[in-house]
Structure 1
Amino acid sequence: MKLYDTPLAPNPRRVRWFMAEKAIDDIEVVTLNLMQGEHKTPEYLGKAGLANVPMLELDDGTCITESVAICRYLESRYPDPNLFGRTPQETAVIEMWMRRGEMLVSLPFMNMVRHSHPAMAALETQSPEVAERGRSSGIGGLKVLDRRLADHEWLAADRITIADIVTFSGLDFSRMVKFQAPEELTHVTRWVAAMRERPAAKAGMPQRPPA
């Protein structure tokens, strides 16, 4: 298998983090340079269908894009530790919080960075209004998370799950523009620190944005 990856983007980071939690080390990683358009070459598009990264290419030639779809496939191939749910109820709760985290937190902050960081102008027709809307919506989403984390160590279960990985990867991307969660969101702050302390966090983006 081959994983087509790029270092800074949050969606590929989800997969790298997921693989690190499971200690998956037998998949070849192919790094693409998005700034040079390597995800838009005819060869890549012929496999992926869209200029999307990450992509997992299976040994039989099947190609899977969409980070959560890739993680679901890897969960079936590498079931331990479980990150998607052990029972129908737990699986549904994890799915719920994954979607909430993605829609309320991850996507807004990703939009904030994409529409405000100077380096992203090469990939995006930037809009300050979209950036500010992402920031405002993301903070609202963090307030939802803070209420949940007041009496839960992790977002969706008694352990880290795909819900935490998806949510945190988007939120942590906001460090590209030096965003920090409001100080009064103490439960979010505790959770963020716990996520950053995990060994798998090293599979994420560099500490400093590119010049």
Structure 2
Amino acid sequence: MSFGTLYTTTQYTVGQRVLAVAALAGVKLDIPTDYKHHEDNLKEPFLAKFASGKIPALETKDGFTLFESTAIARYIAKQAPNANLVGSTNEEAAIIDQWVSFVDCELIPVSSNVHALLGGRLPYTKPLETAFQEKRERAYATLNNHLSTRTFFVGERITLADVHVASAFISAFKYTFDVQKRKQYPHITRHFETIINQPKLKPIFGDIPYCEKAIVFTPPAKKKEEKPKEAAAPKPKAEKPKAPEPEEEEEDDLLKEEPKAKNPLDSLPKSSFNLEDFKRAYSNMDTRGDSGSLKWFYEKFDKEGFSIWRVDFKYNDELAQVFMSSNQIGGFFNRLEASRKYLFGSVGVLGEANNNVITGVLICRGDDIKPVVSVAPDWESYSYESLNPFTEGPQKEFFEGAMAWDLELNGKKWADGKNFK
């Protein structure tokens, strides 16, 4: 018996993800063959059920409707508790949500941006590609290291996390996760092949062609202006015609057509404080203590070159689950990618489900936060307050608590957090 109708197109990875979870859960879904994407989803009957107009979208037999692939996949997985797709304990369920969230916030957005840049769907600049590629490499390393000692992400059986990660890599294996990457990250490769070749999932994912060498950005050829031809003057018969002059080589660097605007932050006086060195210290040291990264920070910080800010989400009353609030932080950090070399952040979720806030600290180049954070379209969803943690008091306590992830505010304890580094 059919559980409901899934509006999707099977070539969409997100649609395949839902169908894969349904196959593992033993849940039958109907896919309407007469659905026309970019047409039917823009009409009022569809929008009345699914406000976003996006697919995949699920309508169950009893009239329950849901959109967003992650939410649909989790809902379907819970229809078959014996399949263990969402974990058998609260701890396993939380770890599954952790990896699903990590892929949604850290891998998929940046990987999509890389492919859009290389494919010409976004205006290309080399610095932006480099920033995205570096962030994607960090995500690859995190996933590969976790899989180095285990077959699946959580436990000894396939869960929602495995399907989520594998489906997120389909485009990468086709276009950018080439032979060199597959050797560099063997555990990701092994996991991907294990999941997509499961008997129940093979018919859904099909045969995925692996790229041998990653695609690279190819600038479109510039059209040369044709000079009007002039009538040739009569020449003596004995004179040989001149050979045509060689054409000038076409430039293959689009940046030469329009010089890249220099970031005003690069024009600031040189600072004695090296932000990249601090990021490494923060990553490799305990935060507190006589040999911790906070002591390192206080000893080397240059107030003339950098500033410190408290950041607070303005719409905490709209926050619900802790992991969703954490996703909010991850999304904000993704959109700050262009300012990575000017910024460090430690921002967290304080509180519990349906009673939590987002707050934390930012360390930024210069004495004005706006040029650094305004690269994110939603930067105005946050308030910013200058902090001075160099004297004893509430500001110092707040700064150190946010950096050490043990901040407590108005009775709300630190529940989850993310770093921008």
TM-score bracket for this pair, using the shorter chain length: 0.7 to 0.9
Q: Secondary structure at the match of 2:77?
A: helix
- Aligned partner letter, 1:174: A
Query: Could you tell me which residue of structure 2 aligns to residue 102 of structure 1?
Result: 104
Q: 1:174 to 1:143 in 2, by over 3 A?
A: same
Q: What does the per-residue CA deviation read over 1:122-151, in whole Å, with 9 as the maximum and x for residues that have no partner?
A: xxxx34356665444222211111110111
Structure 1 position 117, deviation (Å): 4.0
Contact residue 152 and residue 191 of structure 2 kept, 8 A: yes
Pick the structure with more helix per residue.
1
Pick the structure with more strand per residue.
2
Query: Could you tell me which residue of structure 2 aligns to residue 188 of structure 1?
Result: 188
- Aligned partner letter, 1:177: Y
- Aligned partner letter, 2:6: L
Query: Could you tell me which residue of structure 2 aligns to residue 22 of structure 1?
Result: 25
Q: Secondary structure at the match of 1:3?
A: strand
Q: Secondary structure at the match of 1:77?
A: coil
Q: What does the per-residue CA deviation read over 1:137-177, in whole Å, with 9 as the maximum and x for residues that have no partner?
A: 22221111111011111122221111111112111122453
Q: Distance in 2 between matches of 1:169 and 1:133?
A: 24
Query: Could you tell me which residue of structure 1 aligns to residue 341 of structure 2?
Result: none
Query: Could you tell me which residue of structure 1 aligns to residue 92 of structure 2?
Result: 90
Query: Could you tell me which residue of structure 2 aligns to residue 128 of structure 1?
Result: 124
Q: Distance in 2 between matches of 1:178 and 1:116?
A: 10
Q: Secondary structure at the match of 1:13?
A: helix
Q: Secondary structure at the match of 1:2?
A: strand
- Aligned partner letter, 2:63: G
- Aligned partner letter, 1:96: Q
Q: Secondary structure at the match of 1:50?
A: coil
Contact residue 113 and residue 132 of structure 2 kept, 8 A: yes
Give runs of aligned pairs for residues 13-52 of structure 1, distance below 5 A.
13-25=16-28, 27-30=29-32, 32-34=35-37, 36-52=38-54
Structure 1 position 50, deviation (Å): 0.7
Query: Could you tell me which residue of structure 1 aligns to residue 339 of structure 2?
Result: none
Give runs of aligned pairs for residues 171-186 of structure 1, distance below 5 A.
171-180=169-178, 181-186=181-186
Q: Structure 1: 5+ residue runs without aligned partners?
A: none
Question: 169-178 vs 56-65, which deviates more?
Answer: 169-178
Q: 1:108 to 1:205 in 2, by over 3 A?
A: farther
Q: Distance in 1 between matches of 2:112 and 2:32?
A: 23
- Aligned partner letter, 1:94: I
Q: Distance in 2 between matches of 1:52 and 1:157?
A: 33
Q: 1:30 to 1:127 in 2, by over 3 A?
A: farther
Contact residue 6 and residue 59 of structure 2 kept, 8 A: yes
Q: Distance in 2 between matches of 1:202 and 1:111?
A: 28
Structure 1 position 2, deviation (Å): 0.7
Contact residue 96 and residue 160 of structure 2 kept, 8 A: yes
Structure 1 position 4, deviation (Å): 0.6
Q: Secondary structure at the match of 2:31?
A: strand
Q: CA RMSD in A?
A: 2.5
Query: Could you tell me which residue of structure 1 aligns to residue 302 of structure 2?
Result: none
Q: Structure 2: 5+ residue runs without aligned partners?
A: 210-421
| Higher Rg of the two aligned structures | 2
Q: Distance in 2 between matches of 1:96 and 1:127?
A: 32
- Aligned partner letter, 1:3: L
Q: Secondary structure at the match of 2:78?
A: helix
Q: Distance in 2 between matches of 1:29 and 1:49?
A: 20
Question: 135-144 vs 63-72, which deviates more?
Answer: 135-144
Query: Could you tell me which residue of structure 1 aligns to residue 398 of structure 2?
Result: none
Structure 1 position 56, deviation (Å): 0.6
In the superposition, the TM-score normalised over structure 2's length comes to 0.43
- Aligned partner letter, 1:39: N
Q: Distance in 2 between matches of 1:92 and 1:23?
A: 23
Contact residue 106 and residue 167 of structure 1 kept, 8 A: no
Query: Could you tell me which residue of structure 1 aligns to residue 345 of structure 2?
Result: none
Structure 1 position 53, deviation (Å): 0.8
Q: Distance in 2 between matches of 1:144 and 1:185?
A: 10
Structure with the greater relative contact order (CA < 8 A, sep ≥ 6): 1 or 2? 1
